[in-house]
Protein backbone atom coordinates (compact mmCIF):
# COMPACT_ATOMS: atom_id res chain seq x y z
CA UNK A 1 0.00 0.00 0.00
CA UNK A 2 1.35 3.38 -0.91
CA UNK A 3 2.10 6.15 1.53
CA UNK A 4 -0.57 8.37 -0.04
CA UNK A 5 -3.21 5.68 0.42
CA UNK A 6 -2.18 5.28 4.07
CA UNK A 7 -2.59 9.02 4.63
CA UNK A 8 -6.02 8.96 2.99
CA UNK A 9 -7.19 6.07 5.18
CA UNK A 10 -5.79 7.72 8.30
CA UNK A 11 -7.64 10.92 7.43
CA UNK A 12 -10.93 9.13 6.81
CA UNK A 13 -10.72 7.18 10.10
CA UNK A 14 -9.78 10.35 11.94
CA UNK A 15 -12.92 11.99 10.51
CA UNK A 16 -15.10 9.22 11.91
CA UNK A 17 -15.15 6.33 9.47
CA UNK A 18 -15.73 3.09 11.35
CA UNK A 19 -15.16 0.28 8.82
CA UNK A 20 -12.89 -0.66 5.94
CA UNK A 21 -15.75 -1.91 3.74
CA UNK A 22 -16.62 -0.25 0.49
CA UNK A 23 -19.01 2.67 0.50
CA UNK A 24 -22.05 2.58 -1.76
CA UNK A 25 -21.22 3.98 -5.15
CA UNK A 26 -23.37 6.28 -7.21
CA UNK A 27 -24.96 4.98 -10.35
CA UNK A 28 -27.48 2.46 -11.47
CA UNK A 29 -27.82 -0.56 -9.14
CA UNK A 30 -27.31 -4.05 -10.45
CA UNK A 31 -30.45 -5.49 -12.01
CA UNK A 32 -29.20 -9.03 -12.53
CA UNK A 33 -29.00 -9.97 -8.84
CA UNK A 34 -32.61 -9.07 -8.02
CA UNK A 35 -34.97 -11.37 -6.13
CA UNK A 36 -36.59 -12.75 -9.30
CA UNK A 37 -33.25 -13.88 -10.72
CA UNK A 38 -32.21 -15.33 -7.37
CA UNK A 39 -35.38 -17.45 -7.28
CA UNK A 40 -34.92 -18.49 -10.91
CA UNK A 41 -31.32 -19.58 -10.24
CA UNK A 42 -32.48 -21.44 -7.11
CA UNK A 43 -35.18 -23.27 -9.11
CA UNK A 44 -32.77 -24.16 -11.92
CA UNK A 45 -30.17 -25.55 -9.54
CA UNK A 46 -32.79 -27.52 -7.60
CA UNK A 47 -33.77 -29.17 -10.87
CA UNK A 48 -30.21 -30.27 -11.63
CA UNK A 49 -27.39 -29.73 -9.14
CA UNK A 50 -24.75 -30.86 -11.64
CA UNK A 51 -25.00 -27.78 -13.86
CA UNK A 52 -22.05 -25.44 -14.12
CA UNK A 53 -22.32 -21.74 -13.33
CA UNK A 54 -21.96 -21.01 -17.03
CA UNK A 55 -24.89 -23.29 -17.90
CA UNK A 56 -27.08 -21.75 -15.18
CA UNK A 57 -26.15 -18.23 -16.32
CA UNK A 58 -27.02 -19.07 -19.93
CA UNK A 59 -30.34 -20.60 -18.91
CA UNK A 60 -31.35 -17.66 -16.72
CA UNK A 61 -29.94 -15.06 -19.12
CA UNK A 62 -27.51 -13.26 -16.81
CA UNK A 63 -23.74 -12.88 -16.77
CA UNK A 64 -21.48 -15.52 -15.26
CA UNK A 65 -20.20 -13.05 -12.65
CA UNK A 66 -23.74 -12.18 -11.55
CA UNK A 67 -24.64 -15.87 -11.40
CA UNK A 68 -21.54 -16.56 -9.29
CA UNK A 69 -22.46 -13.68 -6.98
CA UNK A 70 -25.98 -15.08 -6.56
CA UNK A 71 -24.57 -18.50 -5.68
CA UNK A 72 -22.01 -17.26 -3.18
CA UNK A 73 -23.71 -14.25 -1.57
CA UNK A 74 -27.46 -14.71 -1.96
CA UNK A 75 -28.00 -18.48 -1.90
CA UNK A 76 -24.73 -19.27 -0.07
CA UNK A 77 -24.01 -22.38 -2.09
CA UNK A 78 -20.67 -23.76 -3.20
CA UNK A 79 -19.49 -26.53 -5.50
CA UNK A 80 -18.60 -29.83 -3.85
CA UNK A 81 -17.89 -32.97 -5.87
CA UNK A 82 -19.70 -31.77 -9.01
CA UNK A 83 -22.79 -30.70 -7.04
CA UNK A 84 -23.90 -27.42 -5.53
CA UNK A 85 -24.55 -27.78 -1.79
CA UNK A 86 -25.14 -25.55 1.18
CA UNK A 87 -21.79 -24.97 2.89
CA UNK A 88 -22.72 -25.37 6.55
CA UNK A 89 -25.20 -27.38 8.55
CA UNK A 90 -27.76 -25.41 10.44
CA UNK A 91 -27.43 -25.43 14.22
CA UNK A 92 -30.41 -27.77 14.64
CA UNK A 93 -29.10 -30.28 12.11
CA UNK A 94 -25.64 -30.01 13.62
CA UNK A 95 -26.92 -30.98 17.08
CA UNK A 96 -29.01 -33.79 15.57
CA UNK A 97 -25.98 -35.23 13.78
CA UNK A 98 -23.92 -34.92 16.97
CA UNK A 99 -26.57 -36.81 18.97
CA UNK A 100 -26.71 -39.54 16.32
CA UNK A 101 -22.94 -39.95 16.37
CA UNK A 102 -22.92 -40.15 20.17
CA UNK A 103 -25.63 -42.82 20.04
CA UNK A 104 -23.64 -44.85 17.50
CA UNK A 105 -20.33 -44.71 19.37
CA UNK A 106 -21.29 -47.27 22.07
CA UNK A 107 -22.56 -49.62 19.33
CA UNK A 108 -19.26 -49.25 17.51
CA UNK A 109 -17.34 -50.15 20.66
CA UNK A 110 -19.50 -53.25 21.17
CA UNK A 111 -18.92 -54.33 17.57
CA UNK A 112 -15.14 -53.88 17.93
CA UNK A 113 -15.01 -56.06 21.04
CA UNK A 114 -17.32 -58.63 19.41
CA UNK A 115 -15.09 -58.86 16.35
CA UNK A 116 -11.97 -59.23 18.46
CA UNK A 117 -13.36 -62.06 20.58
CA UNK A 118 -14.59 -64.22 17.73
Kindly state the average pLDDT of the residues 16-27.
77
- How confident is the model over 31-65, as pLDDT tens digits? 788 889 999 998 998 888 888 889 999 999 999 99
**H or E segment and range at residue 83:** strand 83-85
Q: So where are the chain's domains?
A: 50-87, 88-118
Tell me the three state secondary structure of residue 58. helix
- Closest by CA position to 74, among listed 99, 111, 37, 107: 37
Amino acid sequence: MSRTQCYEWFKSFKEGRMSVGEDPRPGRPSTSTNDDNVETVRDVIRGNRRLTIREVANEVGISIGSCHQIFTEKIRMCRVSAKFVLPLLTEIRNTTVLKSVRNCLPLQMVMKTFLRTS
